[in-house]
Structure 1
Amino acid sequence: MDKIYLNKLAFYGYHGLFPEENKLGQRFYVDLVLELDLKKAGMTDEMTESIDYGHVYQVTKHVVEGTAKNLVESVGEDIAQQLFASFQNLKACSVKVTKPDPPIPGHYESVAIEIYRERP
């Protein structure tokens, strides 16, 4: 399957288990891999045969900057479901949500989840 990559989309959200996360918020990064057939897009040079990257960004932003969730797993699942609802030609997607500054003691770069979903 052909793929579109959107890398390190940056947002500010209020997701987390701790009250200070819900109050203060923090940065989140999202990486997406969208799977669909891109042959017609390549042959016709028509946007209608592909997926509008700007629209993908807006859909993702709406989820990440929207209603606060306890878990980044829920954020990732919501992104995948909204992408399927928005883009009928999307066959599958990989969604990685990175939380660079979680309130966890220790030394690390970030924590992240990644999910893979296929159109039901």
Structure 2
Amino acid sequence: MTKNRPLTKLTIKNAQFYAYHGVKTEEQTLGGKYQVDADLYYDDKSAVLSDNVSDAVNYEEVMFCIDEIFNSDRFNLVETLGYDILNALLERFTTLQKATIRVRKLSVPIRHIVDYIEVEQTMSRENA
């Protein structure tokens, strides 16, 4: 009988970005602040045994990947932005089994007062 190894969860909280996403002209012209949380699940057995960052999910490389998506294109919807981030992470980091991304748009240009809007999306290798 094969025993499953538990997955390690690597969390990145409140990563800050400035980008020009949104439907409204002022969002596309002036830009806005965003925050991203990422919960990344992977089998860390190789990393634990080697104690080598090249065998782990390198969080600095994760940040570069997220930043690349944030600045490579303009998105009307945070849903599309989150989806592209998830796909890029699962493509680039082959040890990832599952990832959850939360993208927050701060200072939302609407009539009502809100702290932020947030989209949360989860993707696993099975549904990637």
Q: TM over 0.5, yes or no?
A: yes
For the aligned pair, the TM-score class normalised by the smaller chain equals over 0.9
2:80 to 74, 81, 89: 74
2:39 paired with 1:37: no
Q: Which residue of 2 aligns with 1:27?
A: 33
Q: Which residue of 2 aligns with 1:106?
A: 112
Q: Which residue of 2 aligns with 1:52?
A: 58
Gapped regions of structure 2 (runs ≥ 5):
1-6
* Aligned alpha-carbon RMSD (Å): 1.1
* Residue identity in the other structure for 1:28: Y
Q: Which residue of 2 aligns with 1:16?
A: 22
Gapped regions of structure 1 (runs ≥ 5):
none
Larger Rg: 2
SS in structure 2 of the partner of residue 65 of structure 1? helix
SS in structure 1 of the partner of residue 90 of structure 2? helix
Identity of aligned residues (%): 29
CA contact (8 A) 2:108 2:114 kept: no
TM-score, normalising length: structure 2: 0.89
CA contact (8 A) 1:76 1:115 kept: yes
2:69 paired with 1:63: yes
Write the deviation string for residues 25-61 of structure 1: whole angstroms up to 9, x where unpaired.
1011110000101133123212122111111101100
After superposing on structure 2, the runs of 4+ consecutive aligned residues of structure 1 that deviate more than 6 Å are none
2:8 paired with 1:7: no
Q: Distance in 2 between matches of 1:59 and 1:53?
A: 10
TM-score, normalising length: structure 1: 0.94
CA contact (8 A) 1:34 1:93 kept: yes
SS in structure 1 of the partner of residue 38 of structure 2? strand
